[in-house]
Structure formats: structure tokens, C-alpha cells
Chain A
Amino acid sequence: MSAVLEVKNLVKVYPGDVKALKGISFEVKEGEIYGLIGPNGAGKTTTLRIIATILEPTEGDVLVDGYSVKRNPNEVRKRISYLPEEAGAYKYLTGYEFLDFIASFYTSNPEKKIEMIKEAITISGLGRRINDKIKTYSKGMLRRLLVAKTLMVKPRLALLDEPTSGLDVVNAQRVRSIIKKYAREYKVTILFSSHNMLEVEYLCDRVAIIHAGEIIVEGRPKELMSKYDASNLEEVFVKIVGEAE
């Protein structure tokens, strides 16, 4: 399987000489779910923002389907769909209008657009509430709508920053199943960031533990658990991050 995402020696220095990333590299293959885990301020969101073409790398490069975020950001944007951790939506639009707005940027074919929106309505599970204004939605409903808008376009690479944050157990489980389904059935490659180790263990084919802007360890969850003699990924994480600190 070819790599949809290639992160090469990525360095990011913010104004004030704040080094957020210190040369990280990893690859994610087609249809793979890859988890980036790490404590707050480790560099997870910065990595996702660089891949989403919002931030520019100070050094190194990122290739999405072979297109560089530095040289071809527009081509990269056509192939990705990004769900930021603190995402919102236009509160004066209805859920349907919002999905229609997002879908319009990915297809000019009206039939395809309707298909995308139908799919998103199913993913979100909003039912008739899809025609209500977004300002009337609960936090959970909004998050489901945002996950739906990210996946409905079936991107080559979906970037999900804490996709289940703010969701209750049932809804979080539902979103996880949908993410898995998209990766398996539609070969959508997923780069995923989360604090929830159980979620990462359940969803990810491979994970990278990132700390202070560096990838400390990378591998399959089971391999890591075996390597660090831990019963779950949380224990692995605590052992590795504890050692690093």
C-alpha cells in the first residue's frame, strides 16, 4: 500500500523562538487509521495544522498524495478534510445549509452533492433536526455535525483533532464506528489525535507518541503494549512520557 501522507523532518518554530516541532517524520498508508497521542503542548495540533495547510513548516515538508504543503497547498486542500479540536459552525445556518455550504467546495455536481449531504445526515444522526438552525444544537449535536461534514466528502486524508471531545459515551462510540467504517469501506486515510487512550487503542492501526515536539515511539498498539509490558495503551503512554520527563 502506498503512503497517502508523508511527514518529513517537520520543524515548526513559532514567533518568539518557540519550538513546537523538532523534526518529526512518519507515514500513513491508504485506509490506515494513524493516531497521534501526547500530552498537552506536545505538538499534535501543530502537526495537524501544518498538514491542513493552515500553518507553514519552518523546515521539512509534508506530502499528501505526493503533493507538498509548501509548493502545492491548493492540491493538498482538495485531498484533505480537517476537523479542528475547537471547531464550530455558522449558527445562523441550518445543519442542512451548513453541509450544503461545505459540500459545494468539493463537488460542482448537484447529484454528488446531495449524496454527500444524505450521507452526512446519516453520519450525524440528526434526523429532522438537520433543518434547525445550528445555534439550537447541543454541543454533542454540533460535534456530530462537524464529524459528518469532515467525512461526507470521503477525502483521501481525514485529519481529526479530538473528534469525540464533548460527546457522551453513546455518541462517542457511534462516531468511532463511523470513523472505522470510512477507513475500511471507503479507504479514507485517517490521521487522528486524541487524549483518550482507549479510543486510540480501539481505532488506530498504528500510533505515534509525541512529546515536546518529538516522536518518542511509533508502532501498532499491541506491539507497544507488549514492548513496554503494559496491559493497555494508557500504561504505555504513562511509562514513555514519564521516562521522557
Chain B
Amino acid sequence: MSAFKTILFKEIKSMIRDPKILIAMIITPVIITGLMYGIIIFSTHQVIKESLYAQGIVAVLDEDHGYWAGNFTDYLKEIGYKVEFVESRDELLSIIRNRSIACGIIIPRGFTENITLNKSAYVNVYIYIASPSMTYLTSRTKILSIIERYSENITSIFIKTHGLNPEYVLNPLNSTIKVIIRDKTIALKDLGSIIGSLMIVNMGFPLIALILASFLVQLTATSIAVEKEEKMFETILSLPISRLSFIAAKIVASVIIGLLSVFIYGALFMWYFTSLSTLSSSTTTSQTTSEASTSIVSAIAGIYGSGGVALLVLSLFGLVLFILGISIILALFVEDVRSAQIITSYIVLPLVIIMIMNMFLDLSSFPETTRHLIALIPLINTCLVPTYLFLGDYLSVYLAISSSIIYALIVMYIASKLVTTEKVFVLKPFRRKRRR
């Protein structure tokens, strides 16, 4: 077995057996992130369900006793509320403190008379807030949308009695939306679906790049620092193996474990987004037709396509190489795992800032030359590749990819020169100060 394979197998074995790596790379994403997403999806589901179906008891103090007061309370019963009539305001204020009571409504005197005389009528709504949770607040405030719906119903009835079409009177001006992306025109009922799809591509890619880069930086830097911490560095340097094979094996092992982690995180993100989109499409009234959904997918596929995906992968490859080179250089000069982790934060933190910055950067408003120049800035350029592809600015795409790979090769060359000299052993710029 070659030295490269021997070191690679040893690396993977050590990483898999190291509980710190297992916890950070696999157990945490699976349990914590999974649990977190699960809770978010569950609570979102609950909120949507709560907002659609009226449940619970509404305490009503009917001071009006007229036709429209009775009609209103019948409507509440019809949509699923249990109505409990109270005799006084004090009783209402006391009863709404009970968790099973959704809210209290006072129908004042003159309610029916006002509606009959074409005057605005009011009901007084009392809501007792006992918890700051989203589910609780939604369940307590949904009565307002129900009152609004009842109001619309009354409006429709009045419009009909005057011989007019309620649909026309309530919405005299409507719009149909057609979105044009490249040469494709897509008819939509709402813009949310296309914005969501583009956001996933535009934010998802830098996010994947960020996660992959931060994993690789940490894994590579740590795996080299481990040699020093476990006092194997001197032994390794004296063994009859190429130092480049040693570094290469470390990198490959880090890439394997890093990709595994990205795959786990990616699967969790996919599950999260799919669950949310399934939830919203099954519950919202302004649904996009399946025809429109297909058009969105085909439009996005048209923008990025197989060639675009290949360019995205290539840019990711350039970024990975660059990040690995930097992390090797830094890791060679640290003394232990803790220092390595501190050093890697110097790389990861700017990456997070870059990713956030990219979300707000409107490249289409920049002159072409500026876009080309931005494409030469390391790290930023990779995150912008999806935007360049969307804009059809292929020169910037090629500039971004080629510059990333060139920077990566330069950094790798410096790293390879360093590992073959005694500098890896002698230079200690990141030595931690010891307490006396």
C-alpha cells in the first residue's frame, strides 16, 4: 500500500473514532439541526392549522340582543367556535383569563341598528395574552381575521341587495402576472414562488460553499495540529515518506469527511425547504398552478442548466482548493488543536460576512468592468457565480473560476514549499503565550 493510502486510511480511521469530530460533523447536524428544523416545521404547521380552523371557546357579552348580533354569534358557531354567553363585563374579563377561552367579545348596544342604518358597527374584542409563543399568539389573534371575513360577508350581502356583483365591487382592478426570465415567459398568480426558487439557488450555493469551506478549514487545520498535539509530528517528518503525500492524504481525508458533513447538512436543508414549501402550497389560497411550477423549474434549469451546474461545481472546486491551501499554511504553524480552531475562525468569519454581503449585492446595477473586477476577488467571486450565471455574464463566471483556481495553485505551491523545509518545525508565529 502506498504511503498516501496508508496515511489516508489512518486519517479517516482517526477522524471517525474521534468523538469531537463525530459530534461536530455528524451528531450535531443530525440531532440538533434536525431537531431544530423539526420544531420549526411543526410549529409552522401548527400556526397555519390554527389560522385556518377556529377552535376553542369565545366568551360573548351580547348587550345588543338584535338580529345582527345573533347572526354574528351564529357565524362564530358555524366556523367552529363554541360560544359562551356571559352576563357582565366583569365576568367576561375574568373568564378570558382561562386558557381554554380564545377571546372575549362585547357586542354593544346599537350594533344591529348601526348595520341596518348603513353605519359602521363595532364589537369590542378582549384578548388575554398569557404566552409569547407564536402558536399561542396566532390562536388568540385569529378572531380579528374572522371578524374581517364576517364583515366582507355582510358587504357582499349588501352589494347583492343593491343588484351589483360583489366580486366586481370588491375587486374592481385586478392584475395578472407574467414573469420573463431570459426567453421564457411564465404566468403566475403570485411572485412568491419564483422569488423563493431564485433565492434558494442564489443563497443556497454560497451557503453550501460556506459550510463546505468552514468544514474543510477546520478539518484540515485540526488534522495537522493533531500531529503536533499527539507529538507525532517529529516522527512523521523523519519517516521515509514524501511530505507532500502526507499533506495530500490529510487534505483528501478532510475533503471526504467534509463532503459527508455537507451531504448531511444539505439533506437536512432540502428536507426543511421541501417541508416548508409543501406546507405552504397545501395551505395557501393563492396557489401557483402546477403548470406554473413546472415553468419555474424549467426556467431555472434554463438559466443554470447542466453547463451552469458544471460551472458552479468548478467554482466550488476552486474555492475548496484555495481554502485548503490557506488552512494548510496556517495549520503548519500552530502548536495544538485549540490554536488551529482559533486560527480557522479567522477564515470562517470573513466567509460569513461575504455570504451575507452577497445576499444584498445587486450586481446587475454594476458596470460590466466593475463586475469583472469583482470576479477577481477571492472567496467573493465564488459566491457570486450563480448571480453571474443568472445575468448571463459568462466572462465574469470564467474570470471568477480561473482566478480562484490560480489563487489556489499559488497558495498550494507556497504550502508545498513550506512542508518540504524545516520552517514547518521551526517557525511558530501562532505560539500561544504560556502563563508563568
Contacts and interface: CB of A to CB of B under 8 A. Distances in A.
Interface of A: 14-15, 49, 52-56, 74, 77-78, 80-84, 86-93, 97, 101-102, 104-106, 108, 133, 159
B234 A15 contact: no
B364 to A, nearest CB: 51
Contact of B238 (A52, A86, A91, A93): A52
Give the dominant DSSP class at A's interface: loop
B291 interface: no
A90 B14 contact: yes
A82 B238 contact: yes
B90 interface: no
B11 to A, nearest CB: 10
Given A56-B422, A97-B13, A92 B231 contact: no
Specify which of B231, B232, B239, B426 lies most central, judged by the most chain A CB atoms within 10 Å of its CB. B239
A104 B236 CA distance: 13
Interface in B1-45: 1, 3, 6, 10, 13-14, 17-18
A104 B3 contact: yes
Contacts of B3: 104-105
28 contacts: A15-B427, A52-B234, A54-B238, A54-B422, A55-B426, A77-B240, A77-B241, A81-B238, A82-B235, A83-B235, A87-B232, A87-B235, A88-B231, A90-B10, A90-B14, A92-B14, A92-B17, A93-B10, A93-B14, A97-B10, A97-B13, A101-B6, A104-B1, A105-B3, A105-B6, A105-B240, A106-B240, A108-B1
A54 B1 contact: no
Contacts of A133: 17
Given A81-B238, A89-B232, 13 more contacts: A55-B426, A74-B240, A77-B240, A82-B234, A82-B235, A87-B234, A87-B235, A90-B14, A92-B14, A93-B10, A93-B17, A101-B6, A101-B10
A45 B323 CA distance: 35
Interface in B188-211: none
A131 to B, nearest CB: 14
B230 interface: yes
Contacts of B421: 56
A235 to B, nearest CB: 33
Given A54-B425, A92-B14, A105 B239 contact: yes
A220 B6 CA distance: 42
Contacts of B241: 77, 105
B240 A87 contact: no
A88 B230 contact: yes
Nearest to B21: A92
Nearest to B14: A92
A173 B425 CA distance: 33
A77 B238 contact: yes
Nearest to A150: B235
B16 to A, nearest CB: 8
Nearest to A56: B422
B21 to A, nearest CB: 10
Contacts of A86: 231, 234
Contacts of A14: 426
Q: Which 9 A-B pairs have the closest CB atoms?
A: A88-B231, A92-B17, A52-B238, A82-B238, A77-B240, A84-B234, A104-B6, A78-B240, A88-B230
Given A15-B426, A104-B3, A105-B3, A53 B232 contact: no
A53 B238 contact: yes
B237 interface: yes
A87 B426 CA distance: 17
A84 B10 contact: no
B234 A77 contact: no
A88 B232 contact: yes
Nearest to A50: B422
A146 to B, nearest CB: 8
Specify which of A77, A86, A90 lies most central, judged by the most chain B CB atoms within 10 Å of its CB. A90
Interface in B236-287: 237-242
A97 B9 CA distance: 11
Interface string B87-102: 0000000000000000
Contacts of B427: 15
A159 B235 CA distance: 11
B221 to A, nearest CB: 17
Nearest to B425: A54
Interface string B149-182: 0000000000000000000000000000000000
Interface string B376-401: 00000000000000000000000000
Contacts of B18: 92
Specify which of B17, B235, B237, B426 lies most central, judged by the most chain A CB atoms within 10 Å of its CB. B235
Contacts of A108: 1
Nearest to A133: B17
Nearest to B17: A92
A14 B231 CA distance: 21
B235 A84 contact: yes
B86 to A, nearest CB: 69
B13 A54 contact: no
A88 B238 CA distance: 14
Contacts of A97: 10, 13
Specify which of A15, A49, A88 lies most central, judged by the most chain B CB atoms within 10 Å of its CB. A88
B114 to A, nearest CB: 79
Contacts of B10: 90, 93, 97, 101
Contact of B230 (A52, A74, A89, A101): A89
Specify which of A54, A78, A84 lies most central, judged by the most chain B CB atoms within 10 Å of its CB. A54
A81 B239 CA distance: 7
Contacts of A88: 230-232
Contacts of A77: 238-241
Nearest to A74: B240
A96 to B, nearest CB: 12
Contacts of A82: 234-235, 238
A90 B426 contact: no
